[in-house]
Structure 1
Amino acid sequence: MNWHKRLIACIVGAMTAVSLAACGGGAGTAATSTPQAAQTTGAAEHTSALVAYFSATGSTRHVAEEIAKVTDGALFEIEPADPYTAADLDYNDADSRISREHDDESLRDVKLRTTEVPNWDDYTTIYIGYPIWWGAAAWPVSTFVRANDFSGKTVIPFCTSASSSIDSSASELAKLANGGDWKDGQRFSSSESAQNVEAWVKQQS
Structure 2
Amino acid sequence: MSKQLVVYISATGTTRRVAQNLAKAIDADLAEIVPAPPFTAQDIDWTDPTSRASRQHADRAMRPPISASPSVDGYDEIFVGYPLWWDTAPREVRTWLESHDFTGKTITTFATSSSSTRGALGEQLHDSAPDAHWVNGRRFAANASEAELKAWADSIA
TM-score using structure 2 length: 0.89
Instruction: Quote the offset at 1:164 in angstroms.
Output: 1.2
Q: Secondary structure at the match of 1:61?
A: helix
Letter in 2 for 1:93: D
Instruction: Quote the offset at 1:104 in angstroms.
Output: 3.2
Which of 80, 90, 97 is 1:145 aligned to? 97
Task: Kindly report which structure 2 residues correspond to 1:180-199, keeping only aligned pairs within 5 A, or say none.
Answer: 180-199=132-151
Distance across 1 between alignment mates of 2:70 and 2:82: 18
Distance across 2 between alignment mates of 1:71 and 1:168: 20
Instruction: Quote the offset at 1:168 in angstroms.
Output: 7.0
**CA RMSD after TM alignment:** 1.9
Higher relative contact order (CA closer than 8 Å, sequence separation 6+): 2
Question: Which structure has the larger Rg?
Answer: 1
CA displacement, residues 173-192 of structure 1 (integer Å, 9 cap, x when unaligned):
11111411100111112332
Structure 2: unaligned runs, 5 residues or longer: none
Task: Kindly report which structure 2 residues correspond to 1:125-144, keeping only aligned pairs within 5 A, or say none.
Answer: 125-144=77-96
Which of 56, 64, 70 is 2:19 aligned to? 64
TM-score using structure 1 length: 0.70
Bigger share in helix? 1
Residue pair 1:51, 1:128 contacting (<8 A) in 2 also: yes
Distance across 2 between alignment mates of 1:100 and 1:81: 15
Instruction: Quote the offset at 1:103 in angstroms.
Output: 2.2
Counterpart in the other structure of 2:66 = 112
Distance across 2 between alignment mates of 1:97 and 1:71: 33
Q: Do structure 1's residue 201 and structure 2's residue 153 form an aligned pair?
A: yes
Residue correspondences, number: 156
Structure 1: unaligned runs, 5 residues or longer: 1-46
Counterpart in the other structure of 1:28 = none
Residue pair 1:166, 1:185 contacting (<8 A) in 2 also: no
Letter in 2 for 1:130: Y
Cα–Cα, structure 1 residues 138 and 69, in superposed 2: closer, same or farther, change >3 Å?
same
Counterpart in the other structure of 1:30 = none
